[in-house]
């Protein structure tokens, strides 16, 4: 059966994606793909979607957890060192000066209240990583958990409801940029093609592995 996505009113509001199979000129409902986020308030909505699907007899093919932590290459980040704190001997004088200038709407140096900027130490950090044995430190992936997982997220919900967790798609600037440009994240952008980086673009996208795994599992389920 040939399968293709069909948008519906539910998809934009609730993260529900209907998959429809084509048999000749006929379209047959295959199932529903649900998209969840890590926060418990979002999981509550997905539980309602699961309940709705089961009441009307829609087959839930699986759940994808979206925005599952931040993943970004180091060469796409800036590293900032905090502005140095004033010496203890100057603390009292600075406090008085701050109070006077704040009353006038200005900073200590008479500027319009703009704090001293942090110092950019990106080059030093990358060089330190090279010295530590990383030939291409920019290719390392920085990872951070942005949202709380206190409730267990989609994995806990799937275990409770007997659903299949197809994967976790991280927050990835490449994915957002691809969506804005109307192309697949696996395809190089126009800038990357012009710079001769098309091949590297397909490999270095942090979310690529998760997306490929989700697609492979879906295809396997639909072909079964």
| pLDDT, position 177 | 85
Question: Based on the domain organization, do 129 and 84 belong to the same domain?
Answer: yes
Query: Same structural domain for residues 117 and 61?
Result: no
Q: How far is CA 109 from CA 36, 103, 120, 169, in A?
A: 49, 14, 21, 46
Instruction: Give the residue, 142 or 192, on which the prediction is more confident.
Output: 142
Same structural domain, 131 and 185: no
Domain match, 122 and 154 both: no
In degrees rounded to 5, what are phi and psi of residue 89?
A: -65, -25
What is the C-alpha radius of gyration for the chain, rounded to an integer number of angstroms? 25
Query: Are 63 and 164 spatial neighbours (Cβ–Cβ below 8 Å)?
Result: yes
Range of the domain at 179: 174-206
Q: Is residue 75 part of a domain?
A: no
Helices (H), the chain: 9-14, 40-55, 91-103, 122-131, 153-161, 173-181, 190-194, 198-204, 208-223
Q: Given a cut of 60, is residue 4 above it in pLDDT?
A: no
Give CA–CA dist 133/17, Å, rounded.
45
pTM over cut 0.75: no
Residues 156 and 214 in one domain: yes
Residue-wise pLDDT tens digits, 14-58:
455 555 555 556 666 678 889 888 888 888 889 998 998 899 888
Read off the DSSP letter of residue 77. Answer: -
Quick one: pLDDT at residue 130? 94
Based on the fold, state whether residues 64 and 150 are members of the same structural domain: yes
Q: Contact 53/32 with Cβ under 8 angstroms?
A: yes
Note the pLDDT of residue 149.
73
Q: What is the 3-state secondary structure (H, E, C) of 130-144?
A: HHCCCCCHHHCEEEE
Does pLDDT of 184 surpass 90? no
Which CATH number is 42's domain given?
A: 3.30.420
Q: Are residues 13 and 58 in the same domain?
A: yes
The pLDDT, as a whole number, for residue 93 is: 55
Residue 74: inside a domain, yes or no? Answer: no
Q: Rounded to an integer, what distance in angstroms lies between the CA atom of residue 42 and that of residue 65? A: 11
Q: What is the length of the chain?
A: 224
Distance CA 145, CA 13 (A): 25
């Amino acid at each position: 059966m040939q399968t293709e996505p069909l948008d519906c009113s539910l998809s934009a509001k609730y993260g529900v994606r209907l998959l429809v199979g084509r048999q000749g000129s006929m379209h047959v409902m295959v199932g529903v793909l649900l998209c969840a986020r890590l926060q418990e308030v979002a999981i509550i909505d997905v539980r309602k979607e699961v309940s709705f699907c089961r009441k009307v007899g829609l087959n839930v093919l699986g759940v994808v957890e979206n925005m599952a932590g931040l993943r970004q290459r180091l060469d796409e980040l800036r590293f900032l060192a905090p502005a140095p704190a004033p010496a203890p001997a100057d603390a009292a004088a600075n406090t008085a000066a701050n109070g006077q200038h704040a009353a006038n709407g200005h900073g200590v140096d008479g500027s319009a209240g703009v704090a001293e900027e942090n110092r950019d130490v990106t080059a030093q950090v990358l060089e330190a990583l090279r010295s530590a044995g990383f030939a291409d430190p920019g290719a390392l992936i920085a990872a951070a958990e942005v949202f709380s997982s206190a409730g267990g997220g989609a994995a806990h919900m799937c275990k409770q409801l007997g659903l299949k967790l197809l994967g976790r798609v991280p927050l990835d600037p490449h994915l957002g940029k691809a969506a804005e440009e109307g192309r697949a994240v696996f395809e190089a952008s126009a800038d990357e093609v012009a710079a001769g980086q098309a091949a590297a673009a397909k490999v270095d996208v942090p979310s690529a592995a998760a997306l490929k795994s989700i697609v492979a599992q879906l295809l396997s389920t639909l072909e079964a």
